[in-house]
Chain A
C-alpha cells in the first residue's frame, strides 16, 4: 500500500499516494490546473510553464527537524517566493497549494498571452476549434486582447507534410513537445525531433518515409492545438457537428476501443459519413491509443464496390435477385435429402452471426469450420489469460514469452503493452526465426529455424539446449507469473497446432494458469477468432477435401478461393455454394448465391478479443441500403427451415448465447455497456489534457473466465511433441509472415495508406538468392500447387537462412509454409 499524503489545494483537503504530482492530486480533487505539455502517460517536463501555482511547504526547524507551529497551533507554511510548476512537483504531507490566487492567475494569463503572440488566428478554419486546449484555456484564464504588434508575427509553413499522413502547421505549434515525447517515450519510434532554437524551435522528421511510425496518428490526438492533423480528417468537420459512436477495431485481435465520428451531409444527398476514427479510453486494452491501421482503415465501408443486392447464378452468370428469391433457392437446396453441409466462417463475424450460423449448421448436421490457419482456441478457452489480467499490472515477477509472433505487425497495441511491461521489469523472452521489433526489449532472445517452433518450446520446458535456452528456461521457471503469447509467424495450421500444444504444456507444467496475468494468449489474425472458437467453429486440416465433398457450402467472411488456388479448385467441385460477403471476392465469383452483408461498422454486435474480453460495438452509421447483417440472414434461413432462430436484434441473440454457450453466462448487452470510471481522467467536457478527448462513456468489455479460472477440470489433450514429418520437397521454402499494412479486403479501399503498404516481394537472404541466381529486384515466377504467381525479389541481410518470406494478404496466395519452384521471370520486351 502506498503511503498516503494529505495536503490542501485551494483550501480543499486532498489525500493522495505519496509521489503524486500536484496536477494529478488537483485533478483527483476536481480542480483543474491548466496544462499544455503535461500528459499523464508521459514523464513531465515543465516546459510550457502553464501550470505555475503557488506552493507552500510546512516549515521545519533546521536543527531539530520538527515542524514549526503558528501561534494557533497550526503548522507554519512557507510559500516559495517563485511559483512552481504543478506538473513536476510531487506532493508533500502538509503542503498547501494555491492554483487561483492573484499570483497564479497572473501567471496563467501571462503564459497564454505569450503563446498567443505568434499563434495565428486560425480558429475559423482550424480543425481543432471546438476541442482545442488553447481555446478553452484562453477563455478560462487568458487575456482578451493582444498587445503584440501584428506585423511582427512570425510567418511559417502552414501545411508541412511530416510524411504523407500527418500535416504540421508550424504557426500553430506551441512547442509543447508532446508529439516528440510520445514518439520517443511511449512508442520508442524517435522519428520526430526538435530542431533549431528559440522562437525558431520546430518539429522535424528525418525518417524515410516521413514520420515513419505506425502510431503516428496518436500525435494528432494529443496535440493541444491544431498543429498536427491527419490528412484523413483535415478540414473534415467541426467537432460539435459530429456524433460519437462506439466501436471496436476490426483489424486485429486486440480489439482496440474506438469511436467513429459521423456527420450527416447535404453534399452527399443526406448520407451520413464517417469523418474520422479516434481512440476510446480503455486502460485494460488500448489505454488511449490506436495504431494507424485502425485509425485510417475504415474507408472500405463506403467503397462503391460494396455488394448491395443478393445475386443468383443463372445460366452460369451471377445476376441480381430479390431477397425472397435468394432465400427460396437456399431453402430448396437445404431441403434436399442426404445433404452434406459445410459452414465455413471467418473471424470477422460477430458472436451473434456465428451463433446463428452454428444453430443453422447444427440443425442440418453440418460441419462447422473456422477459416483459419491458427490452432488453439480450445486451449485458450481453458488456460487462456486469466480473468482480471491486465498488461498494465505486469512488471517485475512476470515472464512473458512471445513465440512465433511479430507483434509490431500482428497486434501493434500488444507490442506496445508488452514493451511497457518489459520496461517495468517484466522478463521478456522473444523466440522467433527472425529479428522483430520486440527483440530490443527482450531479456532473452531465442532463434530457431522455421519448423522448430514447438521443439523450441519443449526445450525451454526441459531447460536443455544452448545457453540462451537454458537461461530463458530458468527465467521462466523462476517467475511468479507467466504468459505465453503465440502468433503465426511462418506458420500454417499444422505448425500452429504443434506450437500451441507446446505452449499449453509449458504453462501447465509451471502452473501459470487460472489466475490473473497468467496464461495462454493467441495473436489471432482476425478480430473475433476467439469468439468463433467459442461458438463451436474449428479449423479443418483437410479443408480442401471437406469443400470438395460438400453438397452445400455456406461461406461467410472468408475468401478461400482468393487465398489459395487449391481451395479454389476444391470449391469449383462443391455443388452449391452460398456466400455471405461485402465485396465481390474470388469466392463470391464461384458462388451460386451471394448475400450482401453489412460491415462491422454498420451494425451492432460483439467481438471476443484475443485476451478473451467480450466487447460491444454499436452501429456507427445508418445502414447502407441493401446489405443485411449476417446474423439476420442466417436467422431467416433458419426460420425457413423451421428453427426458432433469433433475427430481430443482436441483443436478443446474445441473450441466447448467454444461456447456451459455456463461458458467456455473464454477458449481456446491459452489462457490456456499464460505464466504468477510469484513471487518468481524460474527459471530453474540459479538454483538460491536451486537445481531443478519449472519453469512454460506453463500457470497457467483460473478460471471460477460462475453464481454469472456474476451477473446472481441464482436458488439454495429449501434449507431446510430434516431430514434424521430414519435408521431402524440392524448390525454395517459403513461409508466410504478417504485415500490418497489407492488401486485405478491409484495408485496401483506404487509399490513404497506399504508400505504406508492404511491398509485394519475396524476401530472402542474399546467399539464398545467389543459389537461384537471383538479384535484388528481379521479377520472378513461383509455381505453387499448380498455379503460377508473379512477384519480385527483395534481398535482406537479416532474413533467416534458407527460407524466403512472403507477406500474407498481399497478392501472393501463400498462407502456410510451402516449397515453391522459383524462376527468374524474363519479361518480354514491349512490341
Chain B
C-alpha cells in the first residue's frame, strides 16, 4: 500500500495523538462539513463515493444514511464496534492506533443525519479500548470538536461509549440496540428497520467502525477520488484480516479487487511451511468453505465478484486460509461450537439446530459416529436454512453444508464404519 488511507499509523507513528492527527489533515473534513456544508450534502458525497458497509453486509452507506426520516426526532448514530466475527480484527487496529479518524468519521455521520448523540457499542472484551476511546473523546471535547456549539456553529454532539458483555449476537444491529437499551441482547423483528425505528424507537443509523473511518477521507478528498480506488461496484480500500495457515497473518489495507492469490501469497507471505493450500473461508466463520483452486485464487476480492464467482460473500473480508494439514471436519466442529455458544436462543431452528449440530460434530471428533451421521449433520444444517429469525442461524450452517459437500473425505475419517 503506497500511502495508507485507514491504517495511517503505519505511515505516521503517533497519529493516535490529537496534535499529530491534526497536523496530518486530521479533522479538516469535519470542520469543513459543520462550517460550510449542509448535512444532506455530506450524505450525497458519501453516496456518490459508492462506499459500502464494511461490517459484512456491504450495503451502500450513503443510501443507508438517506433512510432516516425527517419527521421523527431525535436521530441517533451507533458505531458497531462489537467485532466478534472469528477471523475479524480490523476494527480493533483502527480504534487502537488511528482512533481519531474513526471518531471523525462518526462525527461526520452524526452531522449528516443530524444526530446530537452517538454511541460506540464495543464488545465487552474491549473494556480497555473503551477507556482509551473515552480519553480520546475527552481530548476532542477539550479541543472544541465535541460538546455544545461545536466550532462556533449551532451543532452539538456527544459521543458515548458502551460496553457489551460477551455476546457475538450483539453485533447484529437490532440485538445491539436491545443490548444498548439495557435489555437482553436478542434481535428484533424487521421490518421496521432501525433507520425508522431504532434506538428507543427513534431513527437510528448503525455503521461499522471501518465504514466510518473511510468517511473523513471521502469528505476531504472527494467522492471521485475515492472511486478511483478499488472496483466500479466496490470502490475504495478494504482492510483484509488475513489469518490461518499463512506466514504473515494480520491486517492488510488494500484496494478492493485485489485477488486472493495476491493477498495470500504476496502480502501474506504464502502458506506456512510451504504446505499446499486447501481451502479458504471468505468471511470468517460465517461463510462457506471454498476450495482454494486456481479459479478461487484468481477471484478478485470485491462484493460483486466473490458472490458471482465463488458463490460466497465477501462479508467483512476476514479471510481464513486452510492448508492440507487442516481437517475440515475438525474446522466445522469449531465453527459449529462457536455458533452454538453464541446463539441467543430466541428462535427455535437456531437454538435447537446449533445445539444439535454441535452434538453431532462432537461425536464425530470423539470418533463415535457413522456415515449416516454426516448426512444427518448436513440435513440439520439445511433444515435450519431459510427459517431463522436472524443471520446468525443462517450463517452457522454455511460452513457445515459446504464442508460436507466439498470435503466429505475429511468427515469420513471420523466415522467408524
Q: Which residues of A contact B (CB under 8 A)?
A: 44-50, 52, 81-83, 88, 107, 110-111, 113-115, 117-118, 147-149, 152, 154, 174-175, 193-194, 196-201
In the bound complex, residues from chain B placing their C-beta under 8 Å from that of A174 are 348
On chain B, the residues within 8 Å of A49 by CB distance are: 347-349, 387-389
**B313-346 contact mask (Cβ, 8 Å, vs A): 1 or 0:** 0000000000000000000000000001111111
Interface residue? B118 (CB, 8 A): no
Contact A110 B351 (CB under 8 A): no
In the assembled complex, the CB of A777 is this many whole angstroms from the nearest CB of chain B, namely 36
Any A CB within 8 A of the CB of B354: yes
A572 to B376 CA separation, bound complex (whole angstroms): 84
Q: Is B383 touching A46 in the complex (CB atoms < 8 A)? A: no
Q: Are A107 and B387 in contact (CB under 8 A)?
A: yes
The reply to whether the CB of B113 lies closer than 8 angstroms to some CB of chain A is no
Bound complex: CA A107 to CA B349 (Å)? 10
Interface membership of chain B positions 175-199, coded 1 if the CB is closer than 8 angstroms to chain A and 0 otherwise: 0000000001110010000000000
Interface status of B410 (Cβ within 8 A of chain A): no
How distant is the Cα of A47 from the Cα of B186 in the complex, in angstroms? 10
Chain A residues positioned under 8 Å from B352 (CB to CB): 114-115, 117-118, 199
Q: Given A83-B386, A197-B343, A198-B343, is A110 in contact with B349 using a C-beta cutoff of 8 Å?
A: yes
CA distance A493 to B261 in the complex (A): 92
Are A198 and B355 within 8 A (Cβ)? yes
Within 8 A of A (CB), among B344-403: 344-349, 351-356, 359, 363, 376, 383-384, 386-389
Question: Among residues 253 to 299 in chain B, which have CB atoms less than 8 Å away from a CB atom of chain A?
Answer: none
Cα-based distance from A259 to B61 in the complex (angstroms): 59
| B340 engages A199 (CB within 8 Å) | yes
Is the beta-carbon distance between B169 and A197 smaller than 8 angstroms? yes
- Give the interface centre of B189, B341, B384 by most chain A CB atoms within 10 Å: B189
Verify if B167 is at the interface (C-beta below 8 Å from A): yes
Chain B residues, Cβ within 8 Å of A196 = 345
Known: A82-B386, A198-B344. A114 touches B353 (CB 8 A): yes
B359-A152 in contact (CB<8A): yes
Q: CB-nearest residue of chain B relative to A111?
A: B348
- B residues in contact with A110, CB < 8 Å: 349, 383-384, 387
Roughly how many angstroms separate A82 CA and B349 CA in the complex, as a whole number? 14
Give, as a whole number of angstroms, the nearest-CB distance from A115 to chain B.
6
A-B contact pairs, 20 of them (CB 8 A): A44-B189, A46-B389, A47-B389, A48-B347, A49-B347, A49-B348, A49-B349, A82-B386, A110-B384, A113-B383, A114-B356, A114-B383, A117-B352, A118-B355, A197-B167, A197-B169, A197-B343, A198-B341, A201-B344, A201-B351
Contact indicator A149/B363 (Cβ below 8 Å)? yes
Complex alpha-carbon distance, A152 and B184, angstroms: 27
Q: Point out which of A83, A152, A154 has the most chain B C-beta atoms below 10 A from its C-beta.
A: A152
Number of interface residues of B (CB under 8 A): 31
CB pair B347–A52 under 8 Å, yes or no, is: no
Contacts of A115 in B (CB 8 A): 348, 352
Q: Which residues of A contact B356 (CB under 8 A)?
A: 114, 117, 148, 152
A300 to B208, CA, bound (A): 64
Contacts of B347 in A (CB 8 A): 46-49
CB proximity of A203 to chain B, nearest CB, Å? 12
Nearest B residue to A154 via CB reads: B355
> Nearest chain B CB to A359's CB is how many angstroms away?
62
Q: How far is the CA of A193 from the CA of B354 in the complex (A)?
A: 23
Are A197 and B344 in contact, CB atoms less than 8 angstroms apart? yes
Partner of B189, one of A45, A52, A147, A200: A45
Residues B355 and A199 in contact, CB atoms below 8 Å apart: yes
Known: A46-B189, A175-B348; 9 extra A-B contacts, CB below 8 A, are A49-B348, A110-B383, A111-B349, A113-B383, A117-B356, A118-B352, A152-B356, A152-B359, A175-B346
Most chain B beta-carbon contacts within 10 A, residue among A83, A113, A194, A198: A198
Kindly list chain B residues whose C-beta atoms are within 8 Å of the C-beta of A111. Answer: 348-349, 387
In the complex, are the beta carbons of A175 and B345 less than 8 A apart? yes
Bound: A421/B352 CA distance, A: 39
B176 CB to closest chain A CB, in angstroms?
15
**Binding site of A, secondary structure by majority: helix, strand, loop or mixed?**
loop
How far in angstroms is the closest Cβ of chain B from A90?
10
Complex: how many Å from CA A249 to CA B376? Answer: 54
Q: Complex: how many Å from CA A115 to CA B355?
A: 11
* Minimal Cβ-Cβ distance residue in B for A193: B184
Instruction: Pick the contact of B348: A88, A114, A149, A200 (CB < 8 A).
Output: A114
A315 to B180, CA, bound (A): 78
B351 and A175 within 8 A (CB): yes
- Measured CA separation A148–B353 after assembly (Å): 11
Closest to A118 in B: B352
Among B346, B359, B383, find the residue whose CB has the most chain A CB atoms closer than 10 A.
B346
Nearest CB in chain A to that of B388: its residue: A49
Say whether B340 contacts A198, CB under 8 Å: yes
Chain B hits for A82, CB < 8 A: 386
Contact residues in A for B186 (Cβ distance below 8 Å): 194
Residues of B within 8 A of A175 (CB): 345-346, 348, 351
Least distance between B244 CB and chain A CB atoms (Å): 26
Question: Which B residues between 124 and 177 are near A, CB-CB below 8 angstroms?
Answer: 167, 169
Nearest-CB residue, chain A, relative to B369: A149
A107 to B353, CA, bound (A): 13
Across-interface contacts of B346 in A (CB, < 8 A): 47, 175, 201
Q: What B residues does A199 contact at CB under 8 A?
A: 340, 343, 345, 351-352, 354-355
CB pair B189–A48 under 8 Å, yes or no, is: no
- Docked CA distance A81–B385 (Å): 12
How far apart are the CA atoms of A45 and B174 in the complex, in Å? 14
User: Per-residue 0/1 for B396-415: is the Cβ within 8 Å of any A Cβ (1 yes, 0 no)?
Assistant: 00000000000000000000
Q: How far is the CB of B197 from chain A (nearest CB, A)?
A: 13
Check B189 against A50 for contact (C-beta < 8 Å): no
Q: Whole-angstrom distance from the CB of B367 to the nearest CB of chain A? A: 15
Q: Top 4 nearest A-B pairs by Cβ distance?
A: A201-B345, A114-B352, A198-B343, A152-B359
Question: What residue of chain A has the Cβ atom nearest to residue B167's Cβ?
Answer: A197
Q: Which residues of A contact B185 (CB under 8 A)?
A: 197
Q: Which residue of the partner chain A has the closest CB to B341?
A: A198
Q: Which residues on A sit within 8 Å (CB–CB) of B388?
A: 49
Residues in A neighbouring B363, C-beta threshold 8 A: 149
CB contact under 8 A between A198 and B342, given known A45-B189, A149-B363: yes
B387 and A194 form a contact (CB under 8 A): no
Query: How far apart are B108's CB and chain A's nearest CB, in angstroms?
Result: 32
Q: Chain A residues with Cβ under 8 A from B355's Cβ? A: 117-118, 154, 198-199
CA distance A198 to B338 in the complex (A): 11
Tell me how far the C-beta of A768 lies from the nearest C-beta in chain B, rounded to whole angstroms: 38
- Contact partners of B342 in chain A: CB under 8 A: 197-198
State whether A88 and B189 are in contact (beta carbons under 8 Å apart), knowing that A49-B387, A110-B387, A152-B359 are contacts in the complex: yes
Q: By the criterion CB–CB under 8 Å, are A50 and B348 in contact?
A: yes
Q: How far is the CA of A31 from the CA of B335 in the complex (A)?
A: 41
In the bound complex, CA of A84 to CA of B389 (Å): 10
* Nearest-neighbor residue (CB-CB) of A82 within chain B: B386
A118 to B384, alpha carbons, bound, how many Å?
16
Smallest distance from the beta carbon of A21 to chain B beta carbons, Å? 12
Residues of chain B within 8 A (CB-CB) of A113 are 383
- Expressed in whole angstroms, the Cα–Cα distance for A218 and B406 within the complex equals 52
Contacts of B340 in A (CB 8 A): 198-199
In the complex, what residues of A have CB within 8 A of residue B343's CB? 197-199
Which of A45, A114, A193 has the largest number of chain B CB atoms within 10 A?
A114
Task: Give the complex CA separation of A110 and B379 in angstroms.
Answer: 10
* Chain B residues near A198 (CB-CB < 8 A): 340-345, 351, 354-355
Which residues of chain A are within 8 angstroms of B349 by Cβ–Cβ distance? 49, 110-111, 114
Return chain B residues, CB-CB under 8 Å to A52: 387
| Closest B residue, CB atoms, query A52 | B387
For B351, what are the chain A residues with a Cβ–Cβ distance below 8 Å?
A: 114, 175, 198-199, 201
Least CB separation from B339: chain A residue? A198
A143 CB to nearest chain B CB (Å): 11
Chain A residue at smallest Cβ distance from B394: A82
Which of B185, B340, B352, B387 has its CB near the most chain A CB atoms (within 10 A)? B352
| Chain B min CB distance to A334 (Å) | 70
